[in-house]
Structure 1
């Protein structure tokens, strides 16, 4: 049996201020638009985010090509320091290789780099080594979707209509 002792870390630089990224992680309408890996989507009505100490975080992801495959994240915020860090303790169900009875911690750090840029750092686990590798790939995909979402915020709106 594989040990559950691996922590994954993913970092990405974004050309936007910390508070914009922080809101993307804490506002349900924003969160539901991007917080799923390719091939999945978040059910907007499932999103519950109460970013304060002891507040709840919950959402459901559904496989795009198989709505019978669902993945539920349910947890609580254990640290919230706007706009620097969010930490949650969560149980994840519906993913092969992840034991829903064993909580994982998700730490999201927002580091100001200057000139309106932010380094986003994701630290999550513990997982088995194989689950951490899969989940790390999932995070890369999720962060690609975050970039696409942020790009829509920076796109000038057509006001001629």
Structure 2
């Protein structure tokens, strides 16, 4: 059985400096406050992040209404340039026919603060739009967090 695969590319601008956006992805206490789409959360005690080549990125998202519904992340950093780029590999995953999913997080200055670009794949074609919706929901949560603290 052949599964159609694709790549998710999503861009978002934050009214925050690059150092703050970087911290949102690399500091457990901050990541736990925003990561996951609306209705999902991350317990800070599940978060382990070592933003260096060979370091781990681990945490467990859970459905707020049913903590037995989880989505674990267990990735390894393959490239890191502080405040600019982080690349992780997560997998292999059964849902992607045992492929490893790469995620690139690119940060750049822009007039409003920080331009973020996330590239994730390969992903099964049918999860591309739900993944995009999930990221957008997460970024809305992060926007609110920045508005409250910056």
Could you state the TM-score of these two structures normalised by the residue count of structure 1? 0.86
**TM-superposed deviation, 1:30:** 0.6
Structure whose alpha-carbon radius of gyration is higher: 1
Q: 1:92 to 1:145 in 2, by over 3 A?
A: farther
Corresponding position of 1:81: 81
1:104 aligns with 2:140: no
Q: How far has the Cα of 1:132 moved from its partner?
A: 1.2
Which structure 1 residue ranges, 5 or more long, are not aligned?
Answer: 155-161
1:43 paired to 2:40: no
Find the counterpart in structure 2 of residue 63 from structure 1: 63
Q: 1:46-98, CA deviations, whole angstroms, 9 ceiling, x for partnerless residues?
A: 000000000000000111111111110001001100111111001387xxx93
Report the alpha carbon displacement of residue 22 of structure 1 after superposing the two structures with TM: 0.5
Please give the alpha-carbon distance, in whole angstroms, between the structure 2 residues aligned to 1:23 and 1:131: 27
Cα distance in structure 1, aligned partners of 2:25 and 2:13: 15
Assess, with a 3 A threshold, how the Cα gap between structure 1 residues 92 and 13 changes in structure 2: closer, same or farther. farther
Q: CA deviation at 1:4?
A: 4.4
CA contact (8 A) 1:90 1:105 kept: yes
The residue that corresponds to 1:130 in the other structure is 126
CA contact (8 A) 1:125 1:132 kept: no
Find out whether 1:141 has 2:147 as its counterpart.
Answer: no
In structure 2, the residue corresponding to 1:150 is in which secondary structure? helix
Extract unaligned runs of 5+ from structure 2. none
Distance in 2 between the 1:109 and 1:101 partners? Answer: 26
Q: What SS is found at the alignment partner of 2:54?
A: coil
Distance in 2 of aligned mates of 1:112 and 1:100: 37
Matched residue pairs, number?
Answer: 150
Question: How much does 1:101 deviate?
Answer: 3.7
How high is the TM-score relative to the length of structure 2? Answer: 0.92
The answer to whether the Cα contact below 8 Å between 2:96 and 2:123 also exists between their aligned partners in 1 is no
Q: Does 1:19 align with 2:16?
A: no
User: How far apart in 1 are the matches of 2:12 and 2:108?
Assistant: 11
